[in-house]
Each structure stands twice: as C-alpha cells, then as structure tokens.
Amino acid sequence: MYKLLFRSFFRTKIFLVSLSLLLFVGIISILIGKQYLLKQEKTIAAAVSFQQKSIQNNIKYHNEDLGLVLYYLRFTLIKKPVNLSAISIGQSDVNPLLQSVTIRNLEGQKHDTDFENPALLMSGNLDLGFVIIYLFPLVLIAMTFNLYSEEKELGTWRILSAQTTSKLSFLLKKMGIRFLFIFAVLIVLLIAAIFVLRIPLDYNFWALCMQSFIYILFWCALCLIVISFQANSNFNALTLISIWIVLTILLPAMVNNYVLNKYPVPEALDAMIEQRDGYHEKWDLAKGVTMEPFFEDFPHFKKYIVPEDKFSWIWYYGMQYMGDLESKESSIKMSEKIRLRNKISETIALVLPTIHTQLVFNKMASTNMIAHLDFIETLTKFHEKLRVAFYSDVFDKRPADSIDWGQYDVKFYEPNTNFNLFKTLSPTLLITILIGLVAIIKLKRL
C-alpha cells in the first residue's frame, strides 16, 4: 500500500514542483538571514573602531576640558548578536542592535534607531520564520485539500475501500506521506540554516524546531478536519484558504489593532516633551533651582561651587540630569504599557497557533519587544554608571589624558533567554491534538 501511495505521489508533478519552490524560497530566506548577520557584524566592527578613534581625537583636541570631551564622546552598549535571530528577524529591524550614548540626558538618546526604508519595513522580512509560518501551510493545503474528494470524484473510492481494511488508515497514510515530504523540506532547511548561519545547537534552537514541527502538525489536523466534512474539492480548497487568510492575516491584524487601542501609550510623547522641557527651561531659571534637586540625589557633590554668573559643567550636567529626572515617571509608565501589550498579545496567542508560533520564534531569537525593553533597561544602568563615574572627574577639572580610557571600550549585553519549554509548546500542541481527535472521529464515519 505504501509503495502504491508513494508512486501516486511522485506521479503528481505539481506536488514535486510545490516542494521544490518551497525549498527554493526557504534557501533564499536563509541567505537573507545571512546578509542580516553580516550587516550586524559590520555594524559592531564599525562601532568598536569609531569609539576608539573618537576617544583619541577628542583627547588630542580637548585634553584640558574633560567636560567638553564628554559632551561629544559616545559610549556604546551592544546587544550580543544571536545567530538564531537570522531565522526570525522579528522587530530587530526597527529596534537597534546597539546604542551609543553620551553622558548627557538619556531620554533623548535611548530611542534613537537606524534609518530604514519605510517600504521595506512595511513589506517585512522574508526570513525562514516567515516561510514556515506562512508558506508551509499553503503548500500543505495544496497537497491535501483533495485527499479524499479526488478519489470520490474520480470514482475510485469504492474500489480503494474494498481493497483496504480501514478507510481511515488509508487516508492517514496518504496524509502521512505528504506530511513526511513537507517535514523533510523543513529538516533540510533547518540543517542548511545551522551551517550557513552558524547557529549553535542550544536549547533555544531545539525549542524553535519543535514549535515548527508542532505548527505543521496543527495544519495537518486542520486539513483533516476539513476533509472529514466529505465535501467536494472546491469547497475544501476555498475553506482551507479562507482559514489560512483568517489565521495568518486577519486575526493577527485584529489582535494588533485591539492591543494598540486598548493600551495606548501617550507616555511616549509625554516623556519626550518632559525631557526636553526639563532641560531647556533650566537655561532661563536661577541655577539654584536646577542644582537643588541634583544635590538631593548626589549630596557628595555639594562641595563644588556653582557660579551664578558664568557657565560651569556641574550646572550643565545638572540640567541634563534634570531632563531625565522629570521624564522618568512617564518613561517608566511607557515601558509598563508596552510590557502589558506584549502580555495581552501572548495570552490571546495561546488559542491562535499562528500568532503564538511567531511570538515563540521571536522569543527564541531574542528579537521580540521584551528583549528590546530589557536591553533599554540595561542601557539605563550603563548610562547611570558612566555618568556617576565621570561627574567627579569633570567637576575636579581633571585633564582628559588622566583618565584610564582603556576601561571604556565597547560593552556587550547578553539577552535573557530563559523560558519554560512545556508552557512554550503546549498551547499549539493541545489545540493540534484536540482538532486531530475530532477529525479522526469524523473520518471513522466514512
């Protein structure tokens, strides 16, 4: 029976063409991921080189004025690249891999990002995650929508029924062969990704592989339950395509729209305005108004004299600090709102395997919004450490060449990738099992 089914499969040339196209697009997506990693490597190398040269040049020309040197100098924090991100680029194309900041106010710097072509951002990235989530189901639908109806329409179902001991077993074998070839393409692409993208075989990679496997099983179960209605091929094809559109396009757009409107983030604009006003309005105020809250947070700097009649770095950096201080509450609220958005999205996604799989891919690759927020929080601590470390040197009017600049090289941040494997995989798996059982019960009535 298996030999006959394999021969029948290979005689259907469109199946082989579909699998070949799927494999070809998958390889293209891996090469796109490779270009993404190369871009990251070039960016990091350029940042390391720039920081070293910038320090040398500023010391050379402004050695006697450390405050001026630190006005220009940028110190870089880099989110350590994860090669798995080439499979699921996620939101990393809009959220920067690195941040270079001065010791001036942070709020005006921490949301800076690279210039990107808006048209490219709108179309998204053709990464391997996109191929798995969007294109694998389409090929599976094309190969299975007429699994039963074709035999019935050609008049061969009664003959086959008489020659097999179990009609259900026969259909499951036909489905199994199609799934086997789809799964084989997935395995080939993942193996290719390991070598081309130099992906380590760690916990995250295996979790991504298992989620991919379960996701394809989910679509197999959906195809089976549509087939179980015993409708004609046209009905099956239209139904499955409609389900694909709803699950991959319509529902994700609705969820995104709901979350954005349910939890708006006006704090983003508030933080920007408060930061700018908190700094700029201090130029027109008495210097004591600026320095009083600054000295409350840094009482050990009270020993420094702040002249009222001329510019001083302690007053200038005090103004910069006040800009961050006055926008701090709005900034915290904005971060909390974004985390709440992500939590609600993850909760809704528990019953929507397409969204859940995308979120899992992004989480495994550290390209989701939470990974970026964690990076921004680390940047805040990084900036605070820099600022406090340099304040005394600036206020003491030390020359720039007296600083040990060797300790101020580019710093790396390693994303937190801890997760519960059972909680990650179980939502899609449970839905797949439920749909599969219903489909099998219905198919037994054939």
Question: What pLDDT band is residue 287 in, cutting at 50, 70 and 90?
Answer: confident
The model's pLDDT over 112-164, given as tens digits with 9 standing for 90+, comes to 666 555 555 555 678 899 999 999 999 999 888 887 766 676 666 666 666 66
User: Is 132 within 8 Å of 212 (Cβ atoms)?
Assistant: yes
pLDDT digits (tens, 9 = 90+) for 68-80: 999 989 999 999 8
Query: Which tens digits make up the pLDDT trace of 422-437?
Result: 999 999 999 999 999 9
Instruction: Phi first, then psi: give them for residue 415, nearest 5 degrees.
Output: -60, 150
- Is a pLDDT exceeding 90 seen at residue 295? no
Predicted confidence (pLDDT) at residue 357 exceeds the cutoff of 80: yes
Provide mean pLDDT across the span 161-171. Answer: 70
| CA 103 remoteness from chain centre | 29
Please tell me the least confidently modeled range out of 174-183, 252-261, 263-272: 263-272
Rg (CA), the chain: 29
> 306 pLDDT band (50/70/90 cuts)?
confident
Output the six-digit token pair for 279: 């700094």
Q: Exposed, middle or buried: residue 271 (CB in 10 Å: 0-12, 13-18, 19+)?
A: buried
pLDDT over 90, % of the chain? 35
Sketch the domain layout of the chain as residue ranges: 1-258+359-446
Long-range contacts, stretch 161-167, CB < 8 angstroms, 24+ apart? 164/1, 167/443, 167/446
The burial class, CB within 10 Å (0-12 / 13-18 / 19+), for 337 is: middle
Mean pLDDT, the chain, rounded, equals: 85
pLDDT tens track for 364-387: 998 888 998 999 999 999 999 998
Distances (CA, A) of 271 to 106, 324, 369: 11, 9, 19
The confidence score (pLDDT) of residue 195 equals 94
SS3 string, 197-231, reads: CCCCCCHHHHHHHHHHHHHHHHHHHHHHHHHCCCC
Give the percent of the chain with pLDDT over 70. 88
- Over residues 207-215, mean pLDDT: 95
pLDDT at residue 280, rounded to an integer:
67
Q: Confidence band (pLDDT; 50, 70, 90) for 296?
A: confident
Distance CA 406, CA 272 (A): 34
CA gap 434, 436 in Å, rounded: 5
Q: What's the pLDDT score for residue 116? A: 58
- Tokens representing residue 409 in the block: 């090289």
Q: What is the DSSP letter of 115?
A: -
pLDDT, tens digit, 9 for 90 and up, residues 86-106: 999 887 777 888 888 888 888
**Which one has a higher pLDDT value, 337 or 147?**
337
Q: What is the pLDDT of residue 446?
A: 67
Residue that has been written with the tokens 């729209």 in this structure: 257
Of 289 and 114, the structure prediction assigns the larger pLDDT to: 289
Nearest to 404 by CA among 46, 59, 53: 59
Instruction: Indicate if the pLDDT at residue 268 is higher than 80.
Output: no
User: Could you say which DSSP state residue 109 is in?
Assistant: T
Please determine, for residue 178, whether its predicted confidence score (pLDDT) is greater than 90: no
